[in-house]
Amino acid sequence: MKLILCTTDAPSGDQTGHQMAYATTNPATGKVEKTFETLSDAALGAILDETVCCFREDWPHRPIAERAAILKRAAKIIRDEQQSIAEIMTRDMGKLIAQAIGELQLSAAILDYYADTAANFLAPKAPPGALAATLHAQPLGALLAVEPWNFPFFQLARVAGPQLMVGNVIVAKHASNVPQSALAFEDVLRRAGVPAGAYADIFATTDQVGTIIDDPRIRGVTLTGSEKAGATVAERAARSLKKSVLELGGSDPMIVLEDAPFDTTVLNAMVGRMNNTGQSCVATKRMIVVGEERGRQFLEAMTAAMASLTPGDPLDASTTLGPVSSEGALQGLLKQVEAAHTGGATVALGGERIDRPGSYLQATILTDITPDNPVYRQELFGPVLSFYVVPDEAAAIALANDVPFGLGGSVFTADLERGKRVALAIESGMAFVNSPTWSTPQMPFGGVKNSGYGRELSQLGFGEFVNWKLLAVSPAGSPPPGAETAG
């Protein structure tokens, strides 16, 4: 193995290279605002060296309280500068400015929460019944985090908060369409006191991501993104026996039972489907209403609510329908809607590009989607609601589970016990009663089936890259184990 001398002065700001793949293309205007070159292999190697040195000699050896104070400073910077950071995120990927600010507040809360709880999470534990044995939390080392554009700060915070408190160090490859958000997050951590070797953002190519995964300096990989990217990265990690965590796509059902209160259920469905212009892995992608008459009423109400959204500049606080993240994303959604229609679905609302600059899709509702329709089992990652009416609870559960995904799901009802029973019957990593799937710093996040494996956030996510090392201590002069039964 290569000997690394821990005196490297890594050119972490020197992102010199060959490719201009990272760019802010404002989806509200279609204009390319800024481009960035990808890293040279030499610069990337130096960053990995610095990361390993930081792990070996610095970051995990600092007292938990010192790491916590740094993360709390980062949370404060995010809150103090939320308006300017939110504008960067909105320019990168088009989210409504108020939702960008909400995301930053959640990101700051995540950093605070893990700073506050780490000492407790990391305290040694005694395995029940095992006398004189304890488990000690040790960090694994340098992790690669591959992240998507849809929540540009939250996705990074939910890796960095817990993992930096564990004592791991992170190399982060953010999506190529949110480079300024990626730099802003790194800048916040740096100003708070996180050393360059403990968190480094890299503008890496897909090929370089593969090379980084193979590199013995990297000890684990976490990816949030599509099934395709997840499978590629997990396969590569498995080849060198590295642990991976995958947070992938979803097609969350929202089951509306006969007794669900009408108005609040519509409000929840709107937030569940339209938050982040529908570009959330846990968005309410399929609304499943029990009962013909209620189905008709809910469709009417959802059509009116979605039709009332006002497209406009996402930086303008009065806009309620922003662009989708890119022209490519818009074209993909238009193709899915067209294929749904050709396959027999009814486009009950919208379905077309909005005639204005930028990548805007009308708020869209699809009905009459049969199991042979291509969109029946696909994820619709944008402002498109699939609307179903079923005769009873059993049919609702069967439909909810008839997709390859298993991320989140929700049930709306006045009967909480029934709601819990139905929610537990949804094949998913998360299920909510009377709320769309949501994320807080305290709750674990993750799925089953093609939505991935492993968890982020909570004690579960915190522990994904921890070596819970067994320490068993016997008194000096003890006989060898098994001696008393060895005959």
What is the binding site for ligand NAP (CB under 6 A)? 146-150, 173-176, 206, 209, 224-226, 229, 232-233, 247-250, 281, 379, 381, 407, 451-452
> Rounded to the nearest whole angstrom, what is the least distance from the CB of residue 106 to ligand NAP in the complex?
13
- Which CB, 50 or 252, lies closer to ligand NAP? 252
- Which CB, 147 or 427, lies closer to ligand NAP? 147
> Rounded to the nearest whole angstrom, what is the least distance from the CB of residue 372 to ligand NAP in the complex?
23
Neighbour count for residue 80 (Cβ, 10 Å): 12
> Rounded to the nearest whole angstrom, what is the least distance from the CB of residue 444 to ligand NAP in the complex?
11
> Rounded to the nearest whole angstrom, what is the least distance from the CB of residue 369 to ligand NAP in the complex?
19
Q: How far apart are CA 176 and CA 93, in angstroms?
A: 11
- Which CB, 229 or 305, lies closer to ligand NAP? 229
Q: Is residue 220 helix, strand or coil?
A: strand
Instruction: Name the CA radius of gyration of the chain, rounded.
Output: 24
- Which CB, 248 or 256, lies closer to ligand NAP? 248
CB 288 within 8 A of CB 386: no
Residue type, 325: S
The closest of 423, 412, 402, 12 to 186, measured between CA atoms, is 12
Q: How far apart are CA 437 and CA 420, in angstroms?
A: 14
Q: How far apart are CA 99 and CA 136, in angstroms?
A: 40
> Rounded to the nearest whole angstrom, what is the least distance from the CB of residue 464 to ligand NAP in the complex?
13
CA dihedral 86, 88, 93, 99 (to 10 degrees): 0
DSSP H helical ranges for 249-358: 262-274, 292-307, 327-342
> Rounded to the nearest whole angstrom, what is the least distance from the CB of residue 334 to ligand NAP in the complex?
16
Positions annotated as catalytic residues are 247, 281
The closest of 341, 144, 349, 127 to 233, measured between CA atoms, is 144
Burial of residue 335 (CB within 10 Å: 0-12, 13-18, 19+) is exposed
- Which CB, 139 or 225, lies closer to ligand NAP? 225
- Which CB, 170 or 233, lies closer to ligand NAP? 233
Residue 218's contacts (CB-CB under 8 Å, 6 or more residues apart) are 48, 141, 142, 143, 144, 171, 212, 242
